[in-house]
C-alpha cells in the first residue's frame, strides 16, 4: 500500500466520522451544554500547548542528506504530543454521569466536541505560521469515536449493569477499554509514520508500543479518573485531575529541551575536526543523518538510533591526534595499525564527554573487521566510506559510483545488508531517518 493510500485510509474515515458527528449534533442540538463546553475547553487547551515537531528543511545543495532533514525522534513515553487533550477527549467519551446525573451526549456529540476543540487548538499554531498537524487530529477522532462507541451505548442502555461491569468493576472495564483504544492508536500512528517517512512499519509499531507504558498509561489513567470523578463530583473534578498531567507535559517539554541542547553540544564537539581542517565541512552531520536513516531502515530501536547518531557525529574525533591532516579526512588508505590507533584515541575522547559507553565502543571499533563489529559500528563505517567516496567524485553520478565502490568492497570492508539498506535510503532521497 502506498503512502498516499495509507493516509487516505485514515483521513477518509476520520473525516466521515467528524462530519457525521457535527451534522448529528447540529441537527439535534447540544445535550448538556455545560459539560460539552467544559470538556471542549479542556481538550482545546491541551491542543494549544501541544508539542509540535520541528519543521523539516529541504534537500541540501549537494543532494546529500543534511542533519536538518532528519527530525529527532520522540523521547520514550512522549509519543502523544498533547496528553492533556487526549485524556480530556477520552474522559468525555467515557462519561456516563456528571454530578450523579446521567448524561445523554452520546457518540455523535463526543466526536463533534473533539473535532471542534481540536480545530480551535490548531488556530494559534496556524496563526504563528506553522502548518496544522492533522495526523494527530485524525487519530484522535478515530480512537475517541471507537472508545465512545464501545462505552456510550452499553452504558446508556444498561447493558454494562447487566454484565456486572458497574460499581467496583467499572474502573477495570474502563481501563481495559482504554488499553484497547491505545493499541488502536499505536497501529494508526505507526501506519501514518510509515506513509510519511517510508520507515519500516515493524520498528515503528514496536516503538509506538514501547511508548505506551510511559505517557500512554498516564493518559489512560487520567482519562478514567476524570470520567469517574466527574460522575461523582461534577465538573469541578476536571481542573483538579488535569493539573498533574499538565505539569507532567511541561516537565516533558523541558526534558526534551535539555536533550536537544545535549544533542547540539555533541554536534558542536564533532565540528572540532572540521574547524581544525581534518575533515570536510558538514561531513560529521551528513554521516550522522544518513547513519540514523540506515539504522531506521534496518529496524533499530529509538535508543539504539540515538547511540548510533552520537557515534556517527564523533567518529572522526580521533583524527585530532594526527600531526598532519589526512587528505579529505579519509583514513581508509592509512595502515591498519594507524587506523586502530586513531579509533582508540577517538574512543578515549568520547568517554570523557559523558555519552553512553556504547558510543565510545562504536568509535573504538571503526578499524576492526566488519564481521567483528556490532551492527551500529558497521553502519557508521559504511556511511562514512560512502560520504568520502561521494565527496571525491564529481557530477550527478557521484552517489551511484560511491555505492558501486561499496558493493565491490562488501567481501572485506562492508556488510552487504548495510550497503543495500543505504542504497534503499538513497533511492528515496535520504528520507528515512
Shared-domain flag, residues 296 and 219: no
Cell numbers given for 74? 520522540
Q: Distance between CA 421 and CA 283 in Å, rounded?
A: 20
pLDDT of residue 81: 63
Q: Distance between CA 406 and CA 274 in Å, rounded?
A: 24
pLDDT of residue 126: 82
User: Sign of dihedral through CA atoms 281, 285, 288, 291?
Assistant: negative
Q: Which of 224, 257, 290 is the last residue of a domain?
A: 257
pLDDT of residue 329: 66
CATH code where residue 309 lies: 1.10.3210.10
In 3D space, the residue among 132, 131, 49, 30 whose CA is nearest the CA of residue 88 turns out to be 49
In 3D space, the residue among 114, 104, 190 whose CA is nearest the CA of residue 145 turns out to be 114
Q: Which of 199, 225, 257 is the last residue of a domain?
A: 257
A 10 A CB-CB count for 6 gives 18
Q: Which of 257, 286, 308 is the last residue of a domain?
A: 257
Shared-domain flag, residues 45 and 189: yes
- Domain hosting 147: range is 3-257
Stated pTM of the model: 0.75
| Per-10-residue mean pLDDT, the chain, length 433 | 80 94 93 93 85 40 36 40 84 90 91 94 82 86 94 85 74 88 91 83 84 82 89 88 80 79 82 82 89 89 88 86 72 78 85 83 86 90 88 75 84 87 82 43
Shared-domain flag, residues 249 and 286: no
Burial of 235 (0-12, 13-18, 19+ CB in 10 A): middle
pLDDT of residue 394: 67
Amino acid at each position: 500500500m502506498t503512502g498516499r493510500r495509507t493516509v487516505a485510509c485514515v483521513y477518509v474515515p476520520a473525516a466521515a466520522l467528524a462530519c457525521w458527528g457535527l451534522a448529528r449534533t447540529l441537527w439535534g442540538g447540544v445535550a448538556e451544554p455545560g459539560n460539552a463546553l467544559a470538556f471542549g475547553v479542556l481538550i482545546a487547551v491541551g491542543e494549544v500547548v501541544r508539542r509540535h515537531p520541528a519543521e523539516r528543511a529541504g534537500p541540501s545543495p549537494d543532494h546529500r542528506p543534511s542533519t536538518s532533514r532528519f527530525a529527532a525522534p520522540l523521547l520514550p513515553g512522549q509519543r502523544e504530543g498533547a496528553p492533556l487533550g487526549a485524556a480530556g477527549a477520552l474522559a468525555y467519551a467515557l462519561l456516563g454521569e456528571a454530578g450523579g446525573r446521567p448524561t445523554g451526549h452520546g457518540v455523535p456529540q463526543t466526536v463533534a466536541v473533539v473535532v471542534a476543540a481540536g480545530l480551535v487548538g490548531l488556530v494559534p499554531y496556524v496563526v504563528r505560521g506553522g502548518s496544522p498537524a492533522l495526523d494527530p487530529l485524525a487519530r484522535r477522532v478515530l480512537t475517541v469515536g471507537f472508545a465512545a462507541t464501545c462505552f456510550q451505548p452499553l452504558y446508556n442502555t444498561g447493558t454494562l449493569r447487566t454484565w456486572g461491569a458497574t460499581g467496583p468493576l467499572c474502573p477495570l472495564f474502563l481501563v481495559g477499554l482504554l488499553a484497547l483504544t491505545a493499541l488502536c492508536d499505536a497501529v494508526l500512528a505507526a501506519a501514518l509514520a510509515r506513509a510519511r517517512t517510508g520507515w519500516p512499519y515493524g520498528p515503528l509499531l514496536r516503538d509506538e508500543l514501547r511508548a505506551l507504558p510511559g505517557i500512554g498509561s498516564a493518559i489512560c489513567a487520567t482519562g478514567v479518573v476524570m470520567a469517574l470523578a466527574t460522575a461523582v463530583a461534577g465538573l469541578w473534578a476536571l481542573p483538579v485531575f488535569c493539573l498533574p498531567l499538565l505539569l507532567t507535559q511541561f516537565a516533558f517539554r523541558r526534558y526534551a529541551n535539555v536533550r536537544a541542547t545535549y544533542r547540539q553540544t555533541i554536534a558542536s564537539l564533532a565540528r572540532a575536526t572540521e574547524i581544525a581542517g581534518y575533515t570536510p565541512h558538514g561531513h560529521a552531520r551528513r554521516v550522522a543523518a544518513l547513519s540514523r536513516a540506515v539504522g531506521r531502515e534496518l529496524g533499530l530501536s529509538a535508543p539504539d538510533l540515538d547511540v548510533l547518531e552520537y557515534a556517527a557525529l564523533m567518529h572522526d574525533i580521533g583524527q585530532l591526534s594526527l600531526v598532519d591532516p589526512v587528505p579529505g579526512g579519509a583514513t581508509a588508505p592509512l595502515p591498519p595499525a594507524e587506523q586502530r590507533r586513531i579509533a582508540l584515541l577517538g574512543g578515549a575522547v568520547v568517554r570523557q564527554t559523558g555519552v553512553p559507553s556504547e558510543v565510545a565502543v562504536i568509535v573504538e571499533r571503526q578499524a576492526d573487521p566488519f564481521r567483528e563489529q556490532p551492527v551500529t559500528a558497521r553502519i557508521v563505517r559504511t556511511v562514512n566510506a560512502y560520504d568520502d567516496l561521494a565527496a571525491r567524485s564529481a557530477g550527478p553520478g557521484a552517489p551511484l559510483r560511491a555505492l558501486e565502490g561499496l558493493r565491490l568492497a562488501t567481501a572485506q570492508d562492508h556488510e552487504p545488508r548495510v550497503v543495500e539498506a543505504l542504497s534503499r535510503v538513497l533511492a528515496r532521497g535520504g528520507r528515512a531517518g
